[in-house]
Amino acid sequence: MNSSDCLLWVLYASLLALLPTVLVAIPALPIRWKRSLGFLVTVALCLLLIVVGIHALASPALHASIPGPLTDLAWQFTLDPLSGFFLLVLGSVGFAASLHAIGYFHHGSQSKLKQVLLPYPVFVTAMVWVLLAANAYTFLVAWELMALSSTFLILVEGQDQRRQQAAYLYLLIAHIGALALFVAFALLSHGDLISNGSFQRMAQLSSSPLVANVVFGLTLLGFGAKLGLLPLHAWLPEAHPAAPSPVSALMSGAMLPIAVYGLLRIDWQILPAGAVWWGPLWLGLGLCSALFAVLYSALQTDMKRLLAYSSMENMGLILIALGLSRIFAEQNLWPLAALALIAGLFQVLNHAFFKSLLFLGSGSVLHATGTLEMSHLGGLIRSMPQTAFLALIGIFALAGLPPLNGFASEWLLLQAFLLAPSLPSGMLRAILPLAAAGVVLVTAVAAFAIVKFYGIAFLGRARSAVAKHEAGIWERASMAFLALFCVLLGVFPGRVVDSLSHITALLLHGSQIAHQSALALTPISAQRASYLPGVFLLGIALSIAVVFVLVWWRFGRSLRRAPVWSCGFAADYSAQTQDSPTGFSQPLLRIFGVSLSTLRSRQGLGNAIPVQIPDPFWKGFYLPWARAALGMAAMVSRLQHGRITSYLLYSFLTLIVLLVIFR
Amino acid sequence: MTSLIIWRDQCFQILFAVAAAPLLAGWLKTVRALLQNRRPAGILQPYRDLFRLFHKEAMIPEQSSWLFRFTPYVMFGAKVMAVAIVPIIANGLPLASAADVIALVGLLAVARIFQVLAAMDTGTDFGNYGAHREMLISALAEPALLAALFTASLLARSTSLVQIVHLSQIQLFSLHPSMVFAAIAFGFVLLVENARIPVDNPATHLELTMIHEAMVLEYSGRHLALLEWAAQLKLFLYMTIGFALFLPWGIAANPLLTSLVIAAGLVLVKLFFAVVVLALVETLLAKRRLFRVPEFAITGFLFGVIGLLSHFMLGS
C-alpha cells in the first residue's frame, strides 16, 4: 500500500464496511453467515484503522477532496497525527467490540440481527468520517450520522419504555450539542460555511476575542454534551446500560473520545490563542464532573450504569489534563504543556482499552446470567473463570494500579501537576497542587467503585442469579486482546509517549517532550522522576515467586477446605449475609451524602432490595427545563384552534409585520 | 564490581527490613503494654507467633477461589518490592529508580486491593465489612498522603525518593516550615493506613468495628503468617518512608559495608523512638467510630494543604 494513499484507502474501506447493511437484506443467506460476515467486515475495517492510525501518527498530513452534492460543497478529508491517533483508538475498540458482537448476538433472532447490522456499520463509518473531516460540512454530516445511528443501536435490545426514554434523551442532548456546534462553525467561518467552511480556512480567518469566547463556549456545550460534562451528562448513565454491550463499549471507548478530538481540533487548532481563563475553566469543569461522576459510579447497583458513570469520570480526568496543558501553553511553557497533553491523550487510549474490556465483560455476564443487577450476582469467578480473570486485569487498569496502563497516564498527569511551580501566577501555583489532590481523590474513589463492581459480581457466593456457561470463544478472544494491551501499554509506556509526541508537535508549535526509552518513563529528567514499569512488574513477580517457593519448600502442606468461620456466626450462613451493592457503598453515601441533599433521606437502606440512586441533576436541572418547555408548548397551543380563518389571520398579521419592518 | 556491590547492598536492605519488621511490632507491643501497666509478652513474641503460624495447617473457605490463596503471597511480595525501593539504609540502590513516591503509593495500593478482593472472595459478612471500610478509608487518606508527598517533592523538585533524600542530606539541618506540616499530615496517614488506634484497633478480633482484622478473618496457618508479616512490614515501610522524607540523616550514601551497618543501627534507633511516640499516641487516644474517621483523614489532608501553601508562600 502506498503510504500517501492511506487516506483514500480508509475512505473506500469505510464505504465498503457499509456492505453488511445490504447483506442482512438478502433472505437466502443463513443467519450464521450474516452474523459472522456482518461483523467481520467491521473487524477488517478496524484492523485497517489500527494500521493506518499508527502510520499516520508519524507522517505528515494527507488531504483528499471528493465532489459533493453542490458545486462549492465538497467532502474534504484530512489525515494527520491527531486524527490518526483517534483512528487508532476507534480501531482498537471497534476491533474488539465487533469480535465480541459475533458471540454476543449469537442467540439473537433474524429481526434483531437486522436491527443491529443496519445501524452498526453506519455508526463505525460515521465515526471514521468525523475523525477525518476537514470541513464543517463533512464534520457536521458525519457527526449527525453518528448520533442517529447510535440512537438506533440503543433501541436494539428491546423497545420498552425505559430504553425509549434513554434513546430520546440521548437524541435530544446530542442535538442540542450539534446545534451549538453548527453555530460555532458558522461563527468561525464568518457566516459563510460554503466558501470558508474548511478547517484550514477557518484557522486563517481571524475572529474578535468576543467571537472567540462565544465559539469556545459553544464548542464546550457541543462537545461537552458528548463527553458527559456535568449538567449534560444525564444521557450517559441511561444510554450505556440500555445499549447492547459491544455498542456500549464502542460508545464509551470510541465515541466519547471523539468529543475530546473535537475539542482539540477546534478549540486548540482552529481557534487562535484564547483567553487566560480557558484552561482553568476546562480544568475546573473536568474536576467537578469527575468528582460527581465517581461518587455516583460508586453508588450504582447496575454493572453497566456503574461503568457509564466511570466513563464520565474518565472524560473529566482527560479534560483536566487538557486544561492543565492549556494553562501551561498560555504561559509558553511548551514542554510542560506537551507533558500534560500527552497525559490526557494517553488516558484516552487507556480508557478505550480497559473500559471496553469491562463493558464487554459485563456483556458476557449478562449473557451467562441474564442480569446485570449486582444484587443478584456473585461468585462468577468460579463459573466464568476466564472472563473473571480478564475482567480482573481490566479493573486493575481502571483502578490505576502499577504496572498496568491506567497508572502510567495517571502518573504522567500527577507529574505535570507537580510542575505547577514553574507558572508565574502565584494563585495558580498554589491551587494546582490542590487540584492534584482532587485528582487523587477521584482515582481513589474510582478504585472503591471498581472494587465494588468486581467484588460483588465476581467474588463471594452467588446471590440469586447463576452463570450457566463461560463466555463464548469470540467474546473471550476480544477481551483477551484488550487485556493484553492493558498490560502492554502499561509496561511499555515510553513507546506510547514517543508516538504521542507527534501530536503535541502538531498542536503545540513543534514542542515535544524528551525521547523516552521503551521501558521507562522519564518525562523531564531521570533525576526529576522516573518510573520503570517493566522492572516493577519483574520485581513484584520475582518477589512473589521467591516467597511462594520458600514458603512451599519450608512449610508446604496440603490445604484443607473448610466451611467459613466468620467469627462463629456462620451457622445460618446464606449468600444474603454478604454485602448488597447498596450496602457496600453505604458508608460512602453517608459521608458524601451530606453534600448531596437528595440522597440524605435514603441512608439506612442497606438490604437486598436494589436501591436506585437518582441523579440530582434530574430534579434540579432537567425537570425545570422540561416543565418550562411543556408550559411554553401549552401556551402556543392556545393559538391553535384548528379553524382556517384564524390561521389565515395569523399569516396576514405576520405579513403586515414583516412589511412594516422590511418594507 | 561496583554493580555487584550495590546489588549486595540491595539484598542486604531487603533482608534487613524483612527481618526487622517483626521486631518493630514486638517493640511496639512491649511499649504499649508498659504504658498500659500490663506485663509485656517480650519483644520477640511476633517471631514466635510467626513461627507457630507457619507450622500450622492452613485452611481455606470452601467457596473461595484462587484469589484467596494467591493474595498472601502478593501482599508479602509487594511489600518486599516496596522495601527494595525505599532508601532505608542506603541511598541510590539499583531498584530505587524503578519507582518514585507516586509509584510506591501505587504499589501499596496493589497490595491493598488484593487484600480487599480476597476478603470479598470469602463471601462472608465480616469480609465484606472489612473490604468496604478499608476502601473507604484509604480513599480518604490518599489525598492527605499525596499532599504530604507533594510538599516534599516540590521542595526537592523531584518525586524520586533518592533525590529527596540526597537533597535533604546536603542541606543538613535547614529548616522547612512546610515540611513540618507535611510530616504531621504523614503521621495522620500512617495511623490511618496501618490500622492503628484512632481508626482501627490492631489488638482485637471479634469486634464489629474491625477493619483490617475483618479482612484476614478467614486466613490461617502460613497464609495468616504471611499476612501478619506483611502488615508488620507495612508499618516498617511507612515509618522508613517517613524517615526518608523528613529525617534522612544517617542513610548511607556510599556502598561500603561499614556505613551500611552504621545506617542500619541508626534506623533501628530512629524506629525505637518513633515506636515510643506511636505507642503514646495509641495509648492516649481512643478508637473512633467509623464515621469519625473521615474527619480524622480530612484533618490530615488539611495539614498537608497547609504544608503546600506555606511552601508557596514562604518559598521553603
Q: What is the pLDDT of residues A197-218, one digit of tens each?
A: 888 888 888 778 888 899 999 9
Distance from CA of A226 to the nearest CA of B (A): 29
Region A624-647: mean pLDDT is 86
Distance from CA of B33 to the nearest CA of A (A): 26
Region A28-48: mean pLDDT is 88
Number of folded domains that form chain A: 1
Region A491-505: mean pLDDT is 89
Between A418, A434, A560, which is nearest B159 by CB?
A: A418
Contact B151, B179 (CB under 8 A): yes
What is the pLDDT at residue B316? 56
pLDDT higher than 50, residue A548: yes
Q: Which residue range is the domain that position A621 belongs to?
A: 616-662
Which cell is A17 given? 464496511
Q: Is residue A653 part of a domain?
A: yes
Distance from CA of A241 to the nearest CA of B (A): 25
Q: Which residues of A touch B148 (CB under 8 A)?
A: none
Contact A350, A408 (CB under 8 A): yes
Place of cell 504544608: B307
Phi/psi-derived region of residue B195, left when phi > 0, alpha when psi is between -120 and 50, beta in every other case: left
Q: Is residue A79 part of a domain?
A: no
**Structure confidence at residue A591 as a pLDDT band (50, 70, 90):** confident
What is the pLDDT at residue A567? 77
Kindly compute the dihedral angle of the four CA atoms of residues A139, A141, A142, A144, in this order, to the nearest 10 degrees. Answer: 120
Q: Is residue A488 part of a domain?
A: no
Q: Is residue A632 part of a domain?
A: yes
Q: Which residue range is the domain that position B299 belongs to?
A: 2-313
What is the pLDDT at residue A603? 45
**Structure confidence at residue A347 as a pLDDT band (50, 70, 90):** very high
Which residue, among A471, A569, A491, has the nearest Cα to A531 in the 3D structure? A491
**Structure confidence at residue A3 as a pLDDT band (50, 70, 90):** low
Q: Of A306-315, A405-414, A426-435, A529-538, which range is least confident? A: A426-435
Which residue, among A49, A71, A62, has the nearest Cα to A7 in the 3D structure? A62
What is the pLDDT at residue A359? 96
**Structure confidence at residue A609 as a pLDDT band (50, 70, 90):** very low
Q: Is residue A630 part of a domain?
A: yes
Interface test with A, best of B73, B208, B210 (most A CBs within 10 A): B73
Which cell is B305 given? 494543604
Distance from CA of B273 to the nearest CA of A (A): 30
What is the pLDDT at residue A271? 83
What is the pLDDT at residue A420? 84
What is the pLDDT at residue B170? 80
Q: Which residues of A touch B213 (CB under 8 A)?
A: none
In chain A, the percentage of residues whose pLDDT exceeds 70 is 95
> Cα separation of B237 and B223, whole Å?
20
Region A458-485: mean pLDDT is 89
Region A128-149: mean pLDDT is 93
Q: Is residue A625 part of a domain?
A: yes
What is the pLDDT at residue A608? 41
A421 or B236, which is more confident? B236
> Cα separation of B154 and B144, whole Å?
15
Distance from CA of B289 to the nearest CA of A (A): 12
Asked whether the beta carbons of residue B67 and residue A539 sit closer than 8 angstroms, the reply is no
Contact B100, B159 (CB under 8 A): yes
Q: Which residues of A touch B99 (CB under 8 A)?
A: 402, 531-532, 536
Q: Of A297-311, A396-410, A596-610, B193-207, which range is least confident? A: A596-610
Q: What is the ipTM of this complex?
A: 0.94
What is the pLDDT at residue B247? 87
What is the pLDDT at residue A606? 45
Between B100, B129, B218, which is nearest A565 by CB?
A: B218
What is the pLDDT at residue B206? 66
Asked whether the beta carbons of residue A436 and residue B146 sit closer than 8 angstroms, the reply is yes
Instruction: Name the stretches of chain B with pLDDT < 50.
Output: none
> Cα separation of A645 and B33, whole Å?
98
pLDDT higher than 80, residue A648: yes
Which residues fall within 8 angstroms of residue A462, CB to CB, at 6 or more apart?
A: A377, A378, A379, A380, A383, A575
What is the pLDDT of chain A when averaged over all its residues?
A: 87
What is the pLDDT at residue A600? 45
Q: Is residue A637 part of a domain?
A: yes
What is the pLDDT at residue A605? 46
Contact A232, A221 (CB under 8 A): yes
Between B106, B135, B147, which is nearest A402 by CB?
A: B106
Q: What is the pTM of this model?
A: 0.93
Q: Which residues of A touch B74 (CB under 8 A)?
A: 540, 544
> Cα separation of A620 and B142, whole Å?
31
Q: What is the pLDDT of residues B100-129, one digit of tens each?
A: 899 999 999 999 999 999 999 988 888 898
Asked whether the beta carbons of residue B122 and residue A591 sit closer than 8 angstroms, the reply is no
Region A516-532: mean pLDDT is 81
What is the pLDDT at residue A573? 67
DSSP A647: H
Asked whether the beta carbons of residue B159 and residue A452 sit closer than 8 angstroms, the reply is no
pLDDT higher than 60, residue A185: yes
Region A78-88: mean pLDDT is 93
Number of folded domains that form chain B: 1
Give whichever of A56-70, A463-477, B113-127, B242-256 has the largest mean pLDDT.
B113-127
Q: Is residue A634 part of a domain?
A: yes
Query: Which of 400-439 (A) contact B at CB < 8 A?
Result: 400-402, 407, 411, 414-415, 418, 421, 426, 429-430, 433-434, 436-438
